[in-house]
């Protein structure tokens, strides 16, 4: 156990047990900085200290240490609490993103081997959690539960954290609370762009001040490079740089936070912006002037429109501290002032308190932009980070299928007026009542609907293209297996979720079981995520109705296909043609769309490419 960041006697005197520590964290917590967040931040800081063992080889990057860059939060805050607003108002980010600068000269495989050995020394892979590495002055034990090597010197470790009671007793060491996990994401230094020297944390990466806990101030990736990364990620098409198609709504919060809290040297930021490799990946010469997000309304003809305002509102609703951020327009104005001003070599220092650039006192780096941004095209290089495998989940009725399959069946049976006369407040009651109307209908009509189902234009080709690109495809339908099953087989889709239509003696019984309502679609997606090892952030859902809202909220990227009001309000982009999803997935547009001239139209108050 390394305890250089602790006055062990004082720390354990104040916190002889895990429960006493949790009580203290609860006392100092605020609505914007929960006890759970404080606990995880403390454990992450302790684990990084175990790796560093008093040195500086392991450097911190990503969003987790954002408060450690901050000078102050410029604005009105509640000062009645012990937690500094710079910690409260940073977006919650619990993962530990690190790299080892001292090992950066090694080949990828040797780097991963050395990283693995270092992590396993702090958190051995033991079946019994009590046999793990000692942390937090003896209050926890660390074990490695899982290791994923993603290539290019990149490894992700899932670390189990088991609180223990280590006081001497007849029972010996025993668990003292529920175990939990933290994720340690280790990257190769060559994957972490640094255009200037690493910087020492301005303040502790841990937001709580506890008896016996010293400030944990590791080396950090330069803030100018962190800002440049986030700016470029928002300006380039989602998927460039990280291979993930979900729009990076969280980076809006992080970039705004940086602009509000961090003084910035203009020359260093210009250099970082100019040399950021996202531009080369995207085949662009540099940031847009004036600065704008990719697909921001009004989107260019070659972009997929992203509903940034809507997506950020959804994120704000899930993250407590973001509710204190201003409206989207005010945030983008601040970000624009910050980034557009960076392009002007006469600007020297960014003042986050005033939200203004001060004049430059030197200009030797003023030409960096023009020298570094030599326009390249995508054909001149291989992507540094290729597109990762995604899961695409499609609704059926009025999404994959042009028409509502239940209405089609009812029309064939001559009972459409009776079905349309059914009205109910909730989805399940409505569907069950409509199916009851079809009792006694010959099952051959169901087979006919399945065999003659008319697909939305471009849907079949899109699924072929997605599968050919290595992605997974599934169907989540509020419809019925007797129709969805044959459709899945026709499209070569192995996974689908649908209700079971009651059929006996060749007739419909008027009953249905296992209906897949909105929450059922979300549950099915989570099951496929676990089965395939594809996380939520790499899951894309396509649907049109209110029954798709839950699955939209369960994925990283929600595409409304000619949606109604409820689905449009939960979407991240809106498609008028299934083929436009090709562009979002970094696939060539179908010829019929290449020949068309995109225009902009509106439906339910949302813009979409048509």
**Of the candidates 189, 254, 194, 185, which has an alpha carbon nearest to the alpha carbon of residue 221?**
194
> What are the structure tokens assigned to 193, written together?
């762009």
Query: Which residues lie below 8 Å from residue 266, measured CB to CB, with a gap of 6+?
Result: 341, 342, 345, 347, 348, 349, 350, 357, 360
State the maximum Cα–Cα separation within the chain, in Å, rounded to a whole number. 88
**Of the candidates 586, 556, 591, which has an alpha carbon nearest to the alpha carbon of residue 282?**
586
Instruction: Determine the angle formed by the axes of helices 18-28 and 35-52, rounding to 10 degrees.
Output: 120
With contact defined as beta carbons under 8 Å apart, do 82 and 112 qualify?
Answer: no
How far CA 378 is from CA of 284, 382, 405, 606, in Å, comes to 9, 8, 43, 32
The C-alpha atoms of residue 152 and residue 359 are separated, in whole angstroms, by 41
- Is 544 considered catalytic here? no
Q: Which uninterrupted H or E stretch holds 161? A: strand 154-165
**Of the candidates 404, 499, 498, which has an alpha carbon nearest to the alpha carbon of residue 453?**
404
Tell me the three state secondary structure of residue 147.
Answer: strand
The C-alpha atoms of residue 273 and residue 108 are separated, in whole angstroms, by 27
Compute how many other C-beta atoms are within 10 angstroms of the C-beta atom of residue 423.
Answer: 8
Query: Which residues lie below 8 Å from residue 98, measured CB to CB, with a gap of 6+?
Result: 48, 51, 58, 59, 60, 61, 184, 185, 186, 187
Compute how many other C-beta atoms are within 10 angstroms of the C-beta atom of residue 429.
Answer: 12
> What are the structure tokens assigned to 264, written together?
């910035």
Place of tokens 């987790």: 64
Catalytic residue among 165, 397, 550, 577: 397
- Is 397 considered catalytic here? yes
Backbone φ and ψ of 220, nearest 5°: -120, 155
With contact defined as beta carbons under 8 Å apart, do 218 and 60 qualify?
Answer: yes
Query: Which residues lie below 8 Å from residue 339, measured CB to CB, with a gap of 6+?
Result: 231, 273, 287, 291
First to last CA, the chain: 61
The C-alpha atoms of residue 575 and residue 86 are separated, in whole angstroms, by 39
Catalytic residue among 185, 254, 265, 395: 395
Catalytic residues: 395, 397
């Amino acid at each position: 156990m390394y305890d250089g960041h602790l006055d062990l006697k004082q720390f354990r005197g104040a916190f002889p047990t895990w429960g006493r520590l949790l009580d203290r964290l609860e006392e100092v917590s605020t609505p914007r900085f929960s006890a759970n967040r404080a606990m995880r931040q403390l454990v992450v800081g302790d684990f990084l200290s175990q790796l560093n063992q008093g040195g500086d080889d392991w450097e911190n990057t990503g969003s987790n240490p954002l408060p450690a860059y901050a000078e102050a939060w410029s604005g009105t805050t509640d000062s009645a609490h012990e937690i500094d607003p710079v910690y409260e108002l940073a977006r919650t980010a619990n993962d530990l993103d690190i790299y080892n600068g001292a090992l950066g000269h090694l080949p990828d495989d040797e780097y991963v081997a050395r990283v693995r050995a270092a992590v396993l020394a702090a958190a051995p892979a033991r079946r019994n959690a009590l046999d793990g590495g000692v942390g937090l002055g003896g209050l926890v034990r660390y074990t490695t539960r899982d290791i994923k090597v993603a290539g290019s010197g990149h490894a992700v470790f899932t670390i189990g954290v088991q609180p223990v009671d280590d006081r001497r007793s007849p029972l010996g060491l025993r668990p003292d609370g529920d175990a939990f996990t933290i994720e340690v994401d280790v990257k190769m230094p060559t994957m972490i762009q640094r255009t200037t020297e690493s910087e020492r944390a301005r303040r502790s990466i841990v937001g709580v001040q506890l008896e016996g806990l010293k400030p944990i101030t590791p080396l950090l990736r330069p803030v100018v490079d962190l800002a440049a990364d986030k700016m470029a990620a928002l300006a380039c098409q989602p998927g460039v740089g990280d291979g993930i198609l979900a729009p990076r709504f969280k980076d809006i919060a992080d970039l705004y936070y940086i602009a509000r809290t961090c003084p910035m040297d203009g020359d260093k930021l210009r250099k970082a912006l100019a040399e950021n490799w996202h531009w080369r990946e995207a085949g662009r010469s540099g940031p847009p002037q004036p600065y704008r997000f990719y697909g921001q309304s009004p989107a260019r003809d070659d972009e997929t429109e992203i509903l940034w305002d809507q997506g950020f509102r959804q994120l704000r609703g899930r993250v407590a501290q973001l509710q204190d951020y201003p409206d989207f327009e005010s945030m983008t104005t601040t970000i624009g002032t910050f980034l557009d001003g960076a392009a002007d070599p006469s600007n020297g220092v960014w003042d986050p308190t005033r939200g203004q650039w001060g004049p430059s006192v030197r200009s030797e780096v003023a030409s960096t932009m023009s020298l570094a941004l030599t326009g390249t095209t995508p054909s001149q290089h291989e992507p540094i980070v290729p597109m990762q495998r995604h899961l695409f989940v499609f609704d059926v009725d009025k999404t994959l299928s042009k028409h509502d399959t239940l209405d089609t069946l009812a029309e064939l049976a001559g009972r459409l007026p009776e079905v349309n006369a059914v009205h109910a407040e909730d989805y399940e009651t409505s569907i069950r009542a409509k199916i009851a109307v079809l009792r006694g209908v010959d099952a051959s009509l169901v087979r006919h609907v399945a065999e003659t189902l008319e697909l939305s234009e471009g849907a079949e080709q899109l699924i072929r293209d997605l599968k050919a690109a290595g992605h997974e495809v599934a169907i989540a339908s509020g419809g019925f297996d007797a129709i969805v099953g044959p459709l899945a087989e026709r499209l070569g889709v192995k996974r689908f979720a649908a209700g079971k239509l009651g059929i006996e003696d060749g007739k419909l019984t008027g009953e249905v079981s296992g209906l897949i309502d909105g929450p059922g679609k979300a549950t099915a997606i989570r099951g496929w995520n676990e089965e395939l090892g594809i996380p939520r952030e790499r899951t894309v859902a396509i649907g049109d109705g209110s029954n798709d809202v839950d699955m939209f909220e369960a994925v990283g990227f929600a595409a409304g296909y000619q949606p109604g009001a409820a689905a449009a309000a939960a979407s991240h982009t809106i498609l008028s043609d299934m083929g436009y999803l090709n562009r979002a997935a970094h696939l060539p547009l179908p010829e019929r769309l290449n020949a068309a001239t995109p225009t902009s139209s509106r439906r339910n108050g949302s813009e979409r490419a048509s």
